[in-house]
Structure 1
């Protein structure tokens, strides 16, 4: 299957919605249509930091999504990219869609002078971690959250 990486456009909303809802279910996150409306609005606005790519198969069907944003790295006085969300339709996993989405974000980062692309995943997301281990270096850093 050939994969093409594109920017989300209004005509992709229903397919993006289907995938993003599935992504939330995968991580057992309660998500409403209103929440998806807000994220879609961010992706469509040039004034928002959150950006995205979609993976389309050779028929034009959207089979994957990735959301990312820039972040500052004060200690090194540089900027990097943070991959917030990555999801590929379970029916096409192993097709190269995830790798193509990560490559597109990496290309975007290079063009913007970023020094790193960073992301997190759940410890038990073994299939994704196997792909990530081929594409990137696992760091020694732990993540902490304070719920507000």
Structure 2
């Protein structure tokens, strides 16, 4: 398995995976929305970065992440926004490898933490997360704008 940044030729497989991620979370996502995120991944002025997991020439997973300021600790952390592995490739180690690669990137950049959220009922993913990270005591709130 190869973990690497996406390249232009990855777009069809990346779109398939990202559409699957949106469907998993029951989020309405348009081709235009996916095009926007794809553009972000290649825009050096945008904070969002991506990695893909490739196995036998096919993308089986994706991750999107970005830095975030941590004023209380006067540091920068990394936020893992999206992580998805093709259901047929679950258990392959792709999710572990993507998280590890993001942590490695964070260390290189001097980040102090990698943080993410997941749905309370995302039990399969939470089993992995409980193994590789520490669950925090913080609840998440949104104000829809």
Same fold, TM-score > 0.5, yes or no? yes
Superposition pairs of residues 64-143 of structure 1, within 5 angstroms: 64-143=61-140
Question: 1: CA distance between counterparts of 2:104 and 2:10?
Answer: 22
Matching of residue 26 in structure 1 with residue 9 in structure 2: no
Alignment of 1:40-55 (within 5 A): 40-55=38-53
Q: Which runs of 4+ in 1 moved over 3 A?
A: none
Structure 1: give runs of 5+ residues left out of the alignment. Answer: none
Deviation at residue 44 of structure 1 after TM alignment: 1.1
What is the aligned length? 145
Supply the distance in 1 between the matched residues of 2:59 and 2:140 (Cα, whole angstroms). Answer: 31
User: Which residue number in structure 1 is paired with residue 60 of structure 2?
Assistant: 63
The offset of 1:43, in angstroms, is 0.4
The match for 1:13 among 11, 25, 31 is: 11
Structure 2 regions of 5+ residues with no counterpart? none
In structure 2, what is the Cα distance between the partners aligned to 1:63 and 1:74?
Answer: 36
The offset of 1:47, in angstroms, is 1.1
Q: TM-score, normalised by structure 2?
A: 0.99
